[in-house]
Amino acid sequence: MRKLHYHRVDVFTDRAFGGNPLAVFTNGRGVSAETMQAIAKEFNLSETTFVLPPDDPAHDWRVRIFTPGSELPMAGHPTVGTSFILAREHLVETKQDGEVLITLEEGVGPVPVRLEFEAGLPAYAEMSQPLPTFGPRFKDPKAIADMLSLEVADVTNTGLPYEVVSCGVPFLFVCVQGLEQMRRIRFRTDVFERVAAEVGVPGLFVFAREVESFEAQIHSRMFAPGAGILEDPATGGASGPLGCFLFRHGAVSRRAPVNFVSEQGIEMGRPSYIRIKIEHEGDEITGVKVGGKCHYMGEGFIEV
């Protein structure tokens, strides 16, 4: 038996029991991929991460990310939360105040992360994501409405397409009319399986431009039964593509840079606040950044 040490952190929140919970194993050396996957399934969180020495000594650490059902090449809340834990445990450079830049190796390649410190502790983490790729558009509003248990008008009156966007992991983006529709969503996995097979995505990201909190500009929900996640309280890996989608279709102000907050997880009782920044030159996106705060929840051991 081997005793593995882990940390628990709530990501994209500044308080306990908010945001998206994450388990971080800071020493993944010698743990097989099969065991990593089994541990992620045992924890049954949206994601669990394992930290390893980097392949390139110029980088800080390599991070493997697992949902209960599969390994991911990149994800937002695991990157932000793992960076926070590495800083808190002094496994990367730290400062009393100011910022530090680190680089994590993930399945998509090197991922830069900017850490802000206050009184010697990490206060904010912001990751850079790969530039977006825009995939197919789904053409059947009736299937979208059926998948969400809404009326067709609820998903057509926004004037925005149903489009796949990826900054490492693809998601299908759907805008609905407002908060009332967001609260009425009853997600149907049987319909999602048909839609996902057509456009090739593990998750559906639904949003509205009506919000509950004063600091947010977008209200979001994400469903990914294909990855073992019925609903996710905070999805950093989809928030970068969300910003790119909104920028592409003129749904956010095009000042440079685009900078706004997405609120997510409210329907789950885990409010999360994700800051999204889209850098651009004219119509060309030149940078995608996603960040937020974290709240440390504790640590423990698992024997495998």
Greatest pairwise CA separation for the chain in angstroms: 57
Question: Rounded to an integer, what distance in angstroms lies between the CA atom of residue 173 and that of residue 140?
Answer: 13
Question: Rounded to an integer, what distance in angstroms lies between the CA atom of residue 124 and that of residue 117?
Answer: 7
Question: Rounded to an integer, what distance in angstroms lies between the CA atom of residue 67 and that of residue 22?
Answer: 10
How many alpha carbons fall within 13 Å on the CB side of residue 260? 25
User: Are 171 and 241 contacting, i.e. CB atoms less than 8 angstroms apart?
Assistant: yes
Question: Rounded to an integer, what distance in angstroms lies between the CA atom of residue 104 and that of residue 67?
Answer: 19
Question: Rounded to an integer, what distance in angstroms lies between the CA atom of residue 251 and that of residue 7?
Answer: 38
47 catalytic residue (yes or no): yes
User: Are 91 and 26 contacting, i.e. CB atoms less than 8 angstroms apart?
Assistant: yes
Q: Where are the alpha helices (DSSP H) in 46-135?
A: 76-88
Say which of 34, 42, 47, 105 is annotated catalytic.
47
Residue closest to 132 by CA, chosen among 44, 241, 209:
241
- List residues with catalytic annotation: 47
